[in-house]
Amino acid sequence: MISAITTNLPVFIIIAPLFVAFVLPTWAQRKRLVENLVISVEILMLLGTCYLASIVLLQKGIPIIYQMGGWSAPWGIELKVGSLGTFFLLTVAIVSLPVALFARGNLTHEVGGKERVARFYVLYLLLIGALGGMALTNDLFNVYVLVEVATLSCCGLVSARNHPRAAKATFTYLILATLGSCLVMGGIGFIYIVTGHLNMGFASQELGRIWQNNPRVVWMAFSFMLVGFGVKSALFPLHVWLPDAHSVAPSPASAILSGLAVKGYLICLLKVLYNVFGFYLMRVYSVHKIMVLVGMVAIISGSISALTQEDLKRRLAFSTVAQVGYIFLGFGLLNTKGLTGTLFYLASHAVIKSTLFLSAGAMLNATGKKNIKDLSGIGRKMPITTAAFTISSLGLIGIPLFSGFVGKWQLLMGSMETGSILPVSVIISGSVLCAAYLFPVIRIAYFGTAPEKDCKDPNLPQKLALIFLSAAIVFLGVIPGSFLELANRAAAELLVLR
Amino acid sequence: MSELIKKIIMNYPYFAAFIIFVIGALTVLTRSNLFKKLIGINIMESAIFLMFVAAGNIRGGAVPILSGKNPHTLYINPLPSALMLTGIVVSVSVTAFALALILRLYRSYGTTDLRRIYEMGNEVSE
């Protein structure tokens, strides 16, 4: 029995949230039971992921290949539990548990009605399952299906609040995201037409042999993939849907959307670029230069747009656009340090941005307002929430001892290795701009005149979630240890010449 | 030039898929009516389906059902068609969700024109 579970653990980790998502509606009336089920699935997922991560760390980089249904590779579908997969799976598990805990607090109020709570959790678990699948899958068509599952559940989460503004934001998001998935599917089609394989390993081998015969088709596949995943992960010129969608969603949903969902698409893009095309082809087609350029533009313009926002959640949403720019820039650096830094930054941004959204949600809930100037003096009334906000802001800016610093430092080292001064200066000025749009919030919260209205820290589960996430930010910043090791190994594996 | 025309005629399904894709993308991006945007998305998806199915086709190939009676040597590739079945399911669910959203938008704004919905801004009651 135990051995059956441990050998099939990779697939159980994906199946468990999906399965619970489908049985949840039958107990929709019993809110406590639904919440407990969700939390226990999250805890099981975290435990299973830790077990897998320990195995991968002990095996020194030899991935566990799981064959679905026992069919071997060119015919069957594979799950590959390598360093990259476990790294992202750990991020998903670590972030989604406290967000679910936070949602326990006042979700009924956030989504407007008790009967909508179970529906919210169904979408939440579908999203988590799809993200887990994205981390582990080694099959191109599975990538497409999981991306679609994630997109549809994201759209559902955005419209969880029954409000016309939410419907408007969801429609824009749905149309643009479907456009993106059409492009992704087209790109997969081109790869399949050229190579005849959907398995990433086989497609990559075949592509390495025959890309010179069809250079234009490979070029099309590159551009379809880049633009498709670019729309989905809100790369700068294609980010128009993000600020509306992420600011109108209930705060646990915005935390998971901004923190994890965007990262899932980025991990898929990383897998396609490095595991299928390989970095040799990226260099031949100069894709890395385009990515660095677009990343730099995204950092600067995202940060400047964030500066001009008065609505706190919109400011955080625009900040996500800027941070996606960092990750794109790092994907294009093509060296181990840069890629390690990017992966670590991706994980730490997932933790930091969900903390920011959750604490912002708690503050806005207590005051009942949306704008930053309405938060004056709230730091004295809600010490824990504001402390969590401050810690995560410092982390996002990249102050030493917080997790953002470790990733940003490695990213900086990596961009110095390329010999060009422009990315380095953009990364540093991005940090300065980040301080410029986050510090005013902290200043107003701590030093503004206190509000007359009686605001209190949120209830126990929400406080626990915020403390857990803040502790994770500090812990990853002080002792990145094996987490950084995993990122480093994943980066080294991605850059192996095939 | 005649070389190019010959290539297009030889690969006409791909060419058709390209034209359909562009029509769909233009419809999505230029029309402000919600229904037209949705139809554009569906047209784009059909183009991708056509491309996949055409990739699996082999001229003169038989239906890929193995039986002892008529031993063909050439079968078409069934995998892309099977994949597109999944694609169609996804496309149907996206369409259903989008139609529900359009209904919701029409009830609160009284129009299905995205530009007018944006002009109305946020002054709409629940």
Mean pLDDT of chain A: 89
Q: CB distance from B54 to chain A under 8 Å? A: no
Chain B residue whose CA is closest to A180: B41
Mapping DSSP to helix (H, G, I), strand (E, B) and coil, where does residue A143 land?
helix
Q: How far is B5 from chain A (nearest CA, A)?
A: 18
Alpha-carbon radius of gyration of chain B = 21
Residue A64 pairs in a beta bridge with A81
Give tens-digit pLDDT for A375-412: 888 888 888 999 999 999 999 998 888 888 888 999 99
Q: What is the pLDDT of residue B123?
A: 58
Mapping DSSP to helix (H, G, I), strand (E, B) and coil, where does residue A297 land?
helix
For residue B53, give Cα distances in angstroms to A225, A362, B93, B119, B120: 20, 50, 21, 42, 44
Q: What SS3 string covers A84-126?
A: HHHHHHHHHHHHHHHHHHHHHHHHHHHHCCCHHHHHHHHHHHH
Question: pTM of this prediction?
Answer: 0.93
Mutation site for B-interface testing, chosen from A171, A227, A247 by largest number of B Cβ within 10 Å: A171
DSSP symbols for A413-453? HHHHHTT-HHHHHHHHHHHHHHHHHHHHHHHHHHHSPPPSS
Nearest to B86 among A145, A164, A170 (CB): A145
Query: Residue A319's closest CA among A248, A258, A404, A249?
Result: A258
Torsion angles phi and psi, residue A195, rounded to 5: -100, -30
Query: Which residues of chain B does A147 touch, with a Cβ-Cβ cutoff of 8 Å?
Result: none
Give tens-digit pLDDT for A157-208: 998 888 888 889 999 999 999 999 999 999 999 999 999 889 998 999 988 8
Instruction: Please say if the pLDDT value at position B124 is more than 60.
Output: no
The answer to whether position B126 is within a domain reads no
Nearest to B28 among A167, A171, A179 (CB): A179
For residue B113 the two structure tokens come to: 């024109």
Q: CB distance from B35 to chain A under 8 Å? A: no
The answer to whether position B125 is within a domain reads no
Domain boundaries, chain A: 302-498
Instruction: Please say if the pLDDT value at position B67 is more than 80.
Output: no
- Domain hosting B82: range is 2-120
Long-range contacts of A402-405 (CB under 8 A, 24+ apart): A402/A473, A402/A474, A402/A477, A403/A344, A403/A348, A403/A351, A403/A352, A403/A472, A403/A473, A403/A474, A403/A475, A403/A476, A403/A477, A403/A480, A404/A345, A404/A348, A404/A349, A404/A352, A404/A473, A404/A477, A405/A477
The answer to whether position B23 is within a domain reads yes
Q: What is the pLDDT of residue A498?
A: 56
Query: Which residues of chain A does B83 touch, with a Cβ-Cβ cutoff of 8 Å?
Result: 141
Contacts of A36 (CB under 8 A, 6+ apart): none
Q: What's the CATH code of the domain at B91?
A: 1.10.287.3510
Q: How far apart are the first and last CA of chain B?
A: 60
Q: How far is A224 from chain B (nearest CA, A)?
A: 12
Q: Is A156 close to B97, i.e. CB distance below 8 A?
A: yes
Instruction: Please say if the pLDDT value at position B126 is more than 60.
Output: no
Whole-angstrom distance, CA of residue A163 vs CA of residue A314: 17
Whole-angstrom distance, CA of residue A123 vs CA of residue A343: 26
For residue A173, give Cα distances in angstroms to A177, A348, A427, B94, B96: 6, 25, 29, 12, 15
Instruction: Please say if the pLDDT value at position A369 is more than 90.
Output: no
Query: Residue A356's closest CA among A258, A210, A456?
Result: A258
Give tens-digit pLDDT for A246-289: 888 888 999 999 989 999 999 999 999 999 998 888 888 999 99
ipTM of this complex: 0.92
Band (A61; pLDDT cuts 50, 70, 90) = low
* Under 8 Å between Cβ of A408 and A345: yes
Q: CB distance from B76 to chain A under 8 Å? A: no
Q: How far is A350 from chain B (nearest CA, A)?
A: 27
For residue A162 the two structure tokens come to: 């029954």
Share of chain A above pLDDT 90, in %: 49
Give tens-digit pLDDT for A292-351: 999 999 999 999 999 998 889 999 999 999 999 999 999 988 888 999 999 999 999 999
When pLDDT is averaged across residues A114-142 and rounded to a whole number, the result is: 91
Domain count, chain B: 1
Q: CB distance from B27 to chain A under 8 Å? A: no
Q: Is A189 close to B55, i.e. CB distance below 8 A?
A: yes
Q: Is A174 close to B21, i.e. CB distance below 8 A?
A: no
The label of the residue with tokens 């290949």 reads: A65
Share of chain A above pLDDT 70, in %: 99
Q: What is the pLDDT of residue A327?
A: 93
Whole-angstrom distance, CA of residue A123 vs CA of residue A114: 16
Side chain identity at residue B26, one-letter code: L
For residue A427 the two structure tokens come to: 């990364």
Residue A139 pairs in a beta bridge with A199
Q: What is the pLDDT of residue B91?
A: 93
Query: Residue A395's closest CA among A480, A491, A304?
Result: A480
The three-point CA angle A480-A273-A86 to 5° equals 35
Mutation site for B-interface testing, chosen from A152, A170, A181, A182 by largest number of B Cβ within 10 Å: A182
When pLDDT is averaged across residues B17-23 and rounded to a whole number, the result is: 93
* Under 8 Å between Cβ of A340 and A348: no
Q: Is A192 close to B52, i.e. CB distance below 8 A?
A: yes
Measure the CA dihedral A334/A62/A131/A192, to 10°: 70
Q: CB distance from B105 to chain A under 8 Å? A: yes
Q: Is A182 close to B80, i.e. CB distance below 8 A?
A: no
Q: How far is A179 from chain B (nearest CA, A)?
A: 7
Whole-angstrom distance, CA of residue A265 vs CA of residue A135: 10
